[in-house]
Amino acid sequence: MRFECVTFDRGGRRQIEKVEAASRAEATDILGRKGLFVLEINEASEAALKSAATKGGLAIRRGSRTRCLAEFTRQLSILVGTGTPVVQAMAAVERQTKDEAFRAVVADVRRRVEEGSTLADAMEKHPRVFDAVARSLVAAGESGGHLDDMLSRLAALMRQQEVMRGSIVGAMVYPTLLIFVAVSVLVLMIAFVIPRFSGLFETLDAPLPPTTALLMSTSELLRMYWWAVIIVLGGSVVGALYWLVTPSGRQMLDTVAVRAPKLGRLIRSLATARIARLLGVLLESRVPLLESLVLTRQAMTNSHYRELLVKIEEAVTRGEAMSDALASSELVTPSFAEAVRNGEQGGRVSAVLLNLANCMDEDNAMVVKSVTSIIEPLILIALGLVVGFVAISMFLPLFDVTSVVQGGP
């Protein structure tokens, strides 16, 4: 085990020492034989956690968090299912976790469990890593005595989210690369290729075509005031990002996302599938319906779907069916609401929701691929048109001069 220690030497100088030892006492003895006085001793993972806390929290990206949490819950469910005590299982998972920040979180959770806290309460100290859904499933597993089953369900949930996220990100890599190449080619042509024609065009002593004059003016503007262009673009991006984090900006973005002509249908389907999977897993885990709706609402990022879940909560509180609130919303399809209604009538809502989520995830994966297969040739066509426009605009004056020379006396 690796320890990070704050020590003082005989001269009173403070220093940090890292030592490998089986226990804290052994680490203290090792440093004492070196003539060092130990002021504070922590495991390396605990020290990393404290350092991250002093910097304002753990810097775990959302995608990395989902992947780490999926691996953590899967490994923990296997170990707990074989009869391994939770503390020992967490220690084993901690040792093989590669992400430094997440390993620090696991170490802190393990330490709290060692001190007598429940696993769900220990996870609650890190809400940015373990969301409300994860903590609720763990709490249900601990209270019902089937923690391994709940961890396995949570791992499956995290893996499915990671698979869907990976398919979307992977599908967008190539279109993003094409856009980057298109913009780079356009900038290079305007900044370096077009200026080389300016001297030639001046010697022609002939009026330039409008497109050529436009490109020449744009090139000169970018070369002379490139710093202003960068400031304007940078300021626009920063301003747009700042506005998007405001309530009005977020509301506008959510509205555009669900109402976009073609993309909106995909976004609505992805959000509906996420609601179905989260709600289905929670209900299957014997979490009360109202609590499941609240947890699902907290996990949604689109404000329109959060408002929909609020309406469902109010309907359930009044004793109405959940499917009635779904049927009155344009955010879900009529077939989805009807399937939920049948599940309510048959007393198998969780099974119906999970089945719907599986089917919708499969359909969404195919839709994502089809959308990207359409976007890619469109980007290539746009790139070809831009490059062709620039090339024709540059060579058009030369064609005019050649025709004049050939037609002259």
- All domains in the chain, ordered by first residue: 2-54 (no CATH), 62-160 (1.20.81.30), 168-255 (no CATH), 263-364 (1.20.81.30)
Tens digit of each residue's pLDDT (9 = 90 or more) over 290-329: 888 888 888 888 889 989 999 999 988 988 888 888 888 8
Round the average pLDDT of the chain to a whole number and report it: 81
For 19-53, b/e burial (b = at least 16 CB within 10 A) is bebeeeeebbebbeeeebebeebbbbbbbbbeebe
Whether residue 408 has pLDDT greater than 70: no
Widest distance between CA atoms in the chain: 104
List pLDDT tens digits, range 26-63. Answer: 888 888 888 787 777 766 544 454 454 444 344 455 55
Provide the pLDDT confidence category of residue 221 given band limits of 50, 70 and 90.
confident
Per mean pLDDT, which of 51-60, 150-159, 334-343 is the most reliable?
A: 334-343
Q: Encode pLDDT of 118-127 as tens digits.
A: 888 888 888 8
Task: Specify the pLDDT at position 338.
Answer: 92
pLDDT value of position 355 = 92
